[in-house]
Amino acid sequence: MPRSVPFPVLAAPRWPILLGRTVASQVGRFATAVYRVQMTKNASRPRNEQSSPIPDKLYFRIGEVAKLCGVEAYVLRFWETEFSQLRPNKSGTGQRLYRKRDVELALRIKRLLYSEGYTIAGARQVFAAEVREPQKKSQPELPLKRGVETGQMEARLKKLRTEVREILGILSAPAKRQSSQSSAAKEKQAPGPGLFES
């Protein structure tokens, strides 16, 4: 039996039979081989969520989010019950309306569960750790330069504090006077029993 030689797709309409096989079967085999090579290349490459960019819209319906994430709609509804961070708005008719950040969160949940192999409880712990992390990683204060400038700054601050306290004392003094004057005026309006009154 003669060797079969793969022909490019362009040669298919010219030759009806090639070495006992039809051209269509040759083309089909060639296309299948090319498809398999492409699939293995894509499978070996790590999938990136940016390959399917999220459209620039205000709201997404659950069907659109399901297509973007590559999961069924019931999976998204289940994730809503399991992850408190995933809370889409609901329209007046009860239809779920996902914002862009909700879609990004759904993609992240999918990556944690399907790609990285986390359980649902483990993915919840990842989100809880991220919430705690910013509190721990608050930016530390920069050390102040110690020197002549620092001493001058501290002296200015002390002076400003005393001036502010004096101003507060001045501003609060009229309020004290007014309250003492109003109490004196009340005493004059309703005099108590005098010396000669019984």
Options 1.10.1060.10, 3.30.930.10, 3.40.50.410, 1.10.1660.10; CATH for 51-133 is: 1.10.1660.10
The fraction of the chain above a pLDDT of 90, given in percent, is: 39
DSSP labels, 60-125: EEHHHHHHHHTS-HHHHHHHHHH-TT---EE-TT--EEE-HHHHHHHHHHHIIIIIS---HHHHHH
Q: What is the pLDDT of residues 116-132, one digit of tens each?
A: 999 999 999 999 988 88
pTM of the model: 0.44
Domain ranges of the chain: 9-45, 51-133
Q: What is the pLDDT of residues 142-151, one digit of tens each?
A: 665 666 677 7
